[in-house]
Structure 1
Amino acid sequence: MSHRSRLCSLVIDCHVDDLGPATEFWSRTLGKKIASVDQDGDGKYAELETAPDEPMILLQKVDHASRVHLDIETDDLEAEAERLEALGAKRIAFVHERWWVMEAPTGHRFCIVRRQREKFGPHLNEWPD
């Protein structure tokens, strides 16, 4: 048995009242068109256009300090969480029963999420369970 995972997203956490100006800034800064200014209809997520073989670039409206975090997509959340715990990461929270917030031994927070694009794509790692 094995599971797969890969770097999926760079998430720009924005401590702002309105995500629109932040989305415009990062779009122009990175030279990426805006794919969605309100991904879920709640004003909390925006997305910039990226090629299928690039990580997604998301902007997230947050209550904590602004920062950037990584998302790792996987076809098995539990197996990936266990693999990363064995490397020294800690589980912090299971959010909306959809993704794990983890903390690296360095103190950096990142997320393990379900597969985000229809096709898993290149740069995929396969891990024995």
Structure 2
Amino acid sequence: MIGRLGTVVLDCPDPRAAADFYAAVLGLEVIGVEPDWVDIGPAPGGDGPRLSFQLAPDNPAPTWPDPTVPQQLHLDIAVDDIAVAQEKVLALGARLVSDDHGTWRVYADPAGHPFCLTFE
């Protein structure tokens, strides 16, 4: 092993809004705020994933599945009940992009980044 993953960083026009969205979806907390950067992760002393959001005011929202602006990166979020999870992410500002994939559905977060809710 050479190293370990520190965080996954998403460029976005409003780092705090993106952080608040994913903190609510994943049950994480905002753990660091700088003018152009926000981190979310487990509560202090906890163990788990960390995501970061970096200010990119001119970052175009992905247009997936239209390849004009590719998705660049997406998160797969495992859930127990897709209907309940969908209701919650839509209430937080996500939009459904595609729901015809069997065990997963594609959404866009409020900044346009695609993410999937997966279930089995």
TM-score (norm: length of structure 1): 0.38
Structure with greater contact order relative to length (CA < 8 Å, sep ≥ 6): 1
